[in-house]
Chains A and B, each alone.
Chain A
């Protein structure tokens, strides 16, 4: 067998396996697993020797192939075959291969379409087609990925370590803080109990408690306890 292939020829282990199946003109539903495993491992050796980063991705399938090969060598327990659904050990792999093949084909089908800015083009310029187009300030077009990407830029620029690990728990807390501040803006003050009354789940009760602590620490609210009744009342620290 000749090993001539381009390094970037394969998109992954499944792609390599499909290549071997086609190269050997094998029926995908009846893969001679010993032969294919042998060839797969030889290619894997080359990939590894070339120190390709992705060699690791090919290892998992290699072990799957070896596992299937060993299972096929074992005699099939007579009753188990039909009763317990212990079918052909190759079945799962075939399924995966067929599925992968479908999407590989779908990808090339997509590429044959008239692709924008490759085969067909939009109007090049939108400048000056109408003068003075006012902008509606309320409408914004942006995706959540743009937001994370923006954060990444900020961190890269500032080298700020503390920003690196974003604590989602803290952000959930921010949600509750926003809500409490809103409630307090409407009702001058509230008892802690009243705030809790809004919380429906255990999680929400915890967040309410943490949010009040945080707000006190941030000096955004003030909490007072009545000496005789023990009731805690929360006020906005600064009146608007």
Chain B
């Protein structure tokens, strides 16, 4: 075990997977010579050469479209989108092409493509670099969506994603790249999709989070503890598949749930989590399920982003409201 930052866990996992399977190739804007704008692909081109770690033109649709083609040629592409905000340019290739290639061809072709993209705010980046949105990815049948909240999971989920036969969208919390640091198992380490991680066990209320919001939830949970409220923090890890039973089991026990997301409120993925809990654990609910969320505005200019992104104070308020309902 070594303590690694998230970006180092990602980088070293990419390296290990490329070493393990020569079909794995990395492509994207600035991933090669410069090693990625966040160094998530640092030194990979030096080790594996410029045919396996490829600097592409600035063409997001072609990066994903070509990844589909590369996959059908027998390779295992791991394209990077420099920021999730630029996935929109490739959206037709993601939502309707990559996600559906197997379906469209009655399984003649599978497309084991893992798209990596950083997302979320908190680092004072320019417009379109910090937007968080997951629900449209999840709402794309055929695609899996992964959003680790710890460095260990970053490793285990990335390795699982690359080896998964289905296409995976792998979300990396921009702010967590260097800030999130934890013990990462050495060597081969795979984390199964579709199982929540109990980031903190508790009895009074369940707080559901993923990616960059896990740390916020934990912070709020610690503060609640000090007030005598025992909080269970669930890290979803994978949004699709969603661990429906893991959610239901926890809320059945606690009777209360708070869902935290960074994205705008309306039609964000938190709505799905709420709807799922409301369906699966209705009889156990002792308070309304609440959402702590970004607002129905774009993430604002850097000087205001801290006011936008949910913080422990807001999560704690929701925890208190749930308990005092």
> Do A and B truly interact?
no
Interface residues of B (CB under 8 A from A): none
Interface residues of A (CB under 8 A from B): none
